[in-house]
Amino acid sequence: MEHCIWRLGGLLLVCCLLVSATVKAHGDRLALLSSSSRSRSSSRQLAQQQTTEYGCPKYPIFDDPWVKLNMAVTYGLKIRDGLGSQTARVLGVYAIAHAAGLQYYHSPFECIGHIGGVPHYRNARCDNVPDYDLHKMHRITNFIRLPSTTAANASAWDQQYLFRGDWDKLAGIAAAALQSRRPTLVGLELTDEFVGACPDIFYHVPAWRPHKYLASQWAAYNASRPEQSWLLSRARSFRVVVHMRRGDLRTASAAREMPASYYINVVKHLVQVLQQLQVDYTVEWFTEPSTNEKEHEDMQLVRQEIPNLTLLFDSDLLWTWQQMWSADVFVMSNPFPVVTPFPANFWYVKTYKTGSTTLSSVFNSICQHYGVVWLKWDEMKLVFQLNDKGPKPTQFQQGMKAAVDKVANASDFRYTAITSHIPYSEQAAELFAQPLMRFTSVRHPVARVHSHFIQTLCFWTADDSTYMQLSTANDTVEHRYEFARKHFQQNLMYWYMRGDVRGVEAAAGQYDFIFVSERMNEAAAAAAAAAAAAAAAAAATVPAALVIFMLQYGLTFEDIAYLPSKVRTGKYKTAKDMPQHLNDYILSVNQHDMQLWELANRRLDDKKAELVDACGADIVSAAHDAFEQLLDEIRAQCSDYQGWYASNDFDGPFTYSGSPGIGDESGLGFRCVRHVARRFIAGARGVVGSLGGAVAGQGVV
């Protein structure tokens, strides 16, 4: 089922896509949750190849007739952890086979982590366990099966094993098998790299594709579907299932336990939306019995706070699994990696004077929210200096690697972002773990050149009491002509963005999202109208670029909220104050930049159209209006953010890096902005009205 979703409360008011697909395999029902995004990035290697209709790699070796008949994939069976985790990996392997056009050979589960009382990661088979547990293991093995497509007994073929494989490695094994003419069965364990490079991989399995129903159409959809669960009343209700981990974590090494308040808050926000939509629902809460006073108090709070609740303690493993995987919304503590647009490794190629301060604040929020290491100015200085001197490619790559390694060695975070004035480089991009998302921003070239001129004129003079006088004296049409004639200033955005490719289309095609400065929000669009009438006309027809970005990538208002760093006073002359012949000259020597700007505007229009098709024009428009209201409240409360910090007993500015000296790189008044955004979101109930959907948080919830 495809939902248009509004996150409420601390989880945000946002339209996104959540796909819930149900698959029947030998009469047994599995469920899969995934996010849909055709524009998500793939790895550098995959970007150079043809792809399938759902964005997966299309290696010629997989189309070879011999390979199709003599190569198969199967689940690796080395990690014997929980039932849910192993099921997720089996589904991934099955989808990989379908996407690549290879055969699938089903390897039944050998042992589940909870069998025999051991929580996770058993390395032995279930040989020395009681008969009761053996019987349970046999039930699981028989119940969870996917159909093999191999004509022969593939278990007798040559065996290859990939603990953490990817598409390139699988293609390499296929090529070697073809060369040796030896039928090969490849055991795949972890499927993250495959799925991460191809987020829509599960669409390759026809039975798992979603139906297009909105949550507000739940009753009509419900009447058409078969029974989803048993042993529970109101089985045709919208089912919210919670897995509150407790008992199995007492012996686990990883601190994966979440407090009861986490589950309660998530479910309450879901319930709020479902009630507004008048959708019948149930909440099924799976956990272990309380063993101490704190756990007993937690369960009492759950009973008090959650309506339509069914509590289930230590229920049958296989039945519990079926209930969880057939849920409409599944709330987990630390779920398996479900593909979502964010978080991910990303690189914001920040060009001078293209809305960088606003986007610095936005990306700071994303990093802080999702645990992404942010490589900012200090870490990138070596790379920038090397590039400024025109280094050899190997020098540039070494500098980038030093910066990436520096942060990677000091942090356990999985994702890394680069957000400084570093031109795009394919060699540098190779240093990221894939997939890598790429973002950039553009501005009307006339406005960009004039703004860059003022910045250059005033650079390093802010501490000089006479800097305004000096700047004014040098701000003449002749000086602006001289600045525009400099080769470095011409087509600067194109030069930053293109990397190793040539041509405007190719340069833009490398990026998952291109922000347009004039369309960042409506206030910016209005300010740009005098400088570029076309920009204002375009901006009036679409929501803010930041809102489109939020909706496309499943982000929240808290992620994109920011405090404008500048108040336009009119003390500097802009394009509207310059003679037309100067502006015409700037355009004439910045044709690549102008083409990029026009292309970026068209791409925003296309993204808006896709969102309207997916979620409806009313929802997209309401999200934009709510964001404008939020920005008004942020301006009102946080313009004097230093004063706000003092009144709330903060020592000073807060940045994600903890370095107050790089506040401009982190966004202004971050704590204040986050505070206002969260309060705004919590009180946004009146904004929603009757608009559709419900889910909380990113990924499976």
Q: What is the pLDDT of residues 634-681, one digit of tens each?
A: 988 888 887 887 777 765 554 444 344 333 445 677 778 888 888 887
> pLDDT-based confidence at 486, cuts 50/70/90?
confident
- Say what the pLDDT of residue 521 is: 65
Res 50 pLDDT > 70: yes
Res 73 pLDDT > 70: yes
Predicted confidence (pLDDT) per residue in 600-615, tens digit: 999 999 988 888 877 7
- Say what the pLDDT of residue 413 is: 63
Predicted confidence (pLDDT) per residue in 379-410, tens digit: 454 444 444 444 455 665 666 666 666 655 55
Residues near 204 by beta carbon (within 8 Å), at least 6 away in sequence: 52, 54, 56, 95, 98, 99
Res 528 pLDDT > 60: no
- Say what the pLDDT of residue 588 is: 93
The CA-based dihedral angle spanning residues 340, 201, 432, 391, taken in that order and rounded to the nearest 10 degrees: -120
Three-state SS letters, 271-320? HHHHHHCCCCEEEEEEECCCCCHHHHHHHHHHHHHCCCEEEEECCCHHHH
- Of 535, 523, 520, 519, the residue nearest 576 (C-alpha): 535
Cα 182 to Cα 657: distance, rounded to the nearest angstrom? 53
Is residue 658 exposed (0-12), middle (13-18) or buried (19+ Cβ within 10 Å)?
Answer: exposed
Q: Characterize 380-399 residue by residue with b for buried, 16 or more Cβ atoms within 10 angstroms of its Cβ, and e for exposed.
A: bebbeebbeeeeeeeebbbb
- Of 387, 451, 453, the residue nearest 418 (C-alpha): 387
The strands making up 17-25's β-sheet, listed across from edge to edge, are 2-4, 17-25, 28-34
Cα 641 to Cα 305: distance, rounded to the nearest angstrom? 36
- Say what the pLDDT of residue 71 is: 94
Q: Which amino acid is at 202?
A: F
> pLDDT-based confidence at 35, cuts 50/70/90?
very low
Is residue 369 exposed (0-12), middle (13-18) or buried (19+ Cβ within 10 Å)?
Answer: middle
Res 343 pLDDT > 60: yes
Q: Which amino acid is at 26?
A: H
- Residue 243 phi/psi, 5-degree rounding, is -110, 100
- Please provide the average confidence, as pLDDT, over all residues in the chain: 72
- Say what the pLDDT of residue 305 is: 93
Res 538 pLDDT > 80: no
- Say what the pLDDT of residue 236 is: 60
Q: Stretch 139-147: mean pLDDT, rounded?
A: 82
Least confident window among 79-93, 578-592, 678-692? 678-692
Q: Stretch 147-169: mean pLDDT, rounded?
A: 86
Higher pLDDT, 230 or 322: 322
Pairing status of strand 281-287 against strand 238-243: parallel
Q: Characterize 253-274 residue by residue with b for buried, 16 or more Cβ atoms within 10 angstroms of its Cβ, and e for exposed.
A: eeeeebebeebbbbbbbbbbbb
- Quickly tell me which residue has 């000089």 as its tokens: 464
Contact predicate 66/178, CB 8 Å? yes
Res 438 pLDDT > 70: yes
Least confident window among 53-62, 203-212, 326-335, 685-694? 685-694
Res 340 pLDDT > 80: no
- Say what the pLDDT of residue 31 is: 26
Cα 269 to Cα 11: distance, rounded to the nearest angstrom? 8
Q: Stretch 550-562: mean pLDDT, rounded?
A: 85
Least confident window among 50-59, 184-193, 226-235? 226-235
Cα 399 to Cα 549: distance, rounded to the nearest angstrom? 31
Contact predicate 61/178, CB 8 Å? yes
> pLDDT-based confidence at 697, cuts 50/70/90?
very low
Least confident window among 61-75, 96-110, 637-651? 637-651
Helix (H, G, I), strand (E, B) or coil at 28: strand
- Of 144, 142, 162, the residue nearest 78 (C-alpha): 162
Helix (H, G, I), strand (E, B) or coil at 93: helix
Tell me, rounded to whole angstroms, the distance of Cα 662 from its chain centroid.
25
The most confident of the ranges 31-35, 397-401, 629-633 is: 629-633
The most confident of the ranges 31-45, 343-357, 387-401, 464-478 is: 343-357
Contact predicate 341/439, CB 8 Å? no
Q: Stretch 72-101: mean pLDDT, rounded?
A: 88
Cα 569 to Cα 567: distance, rounded to the nearest angstrom? 6
Cα 466 to Cα 471: distance, rounded to the nearest angstrom? 9
Strand partners of residue 283: 240, 309
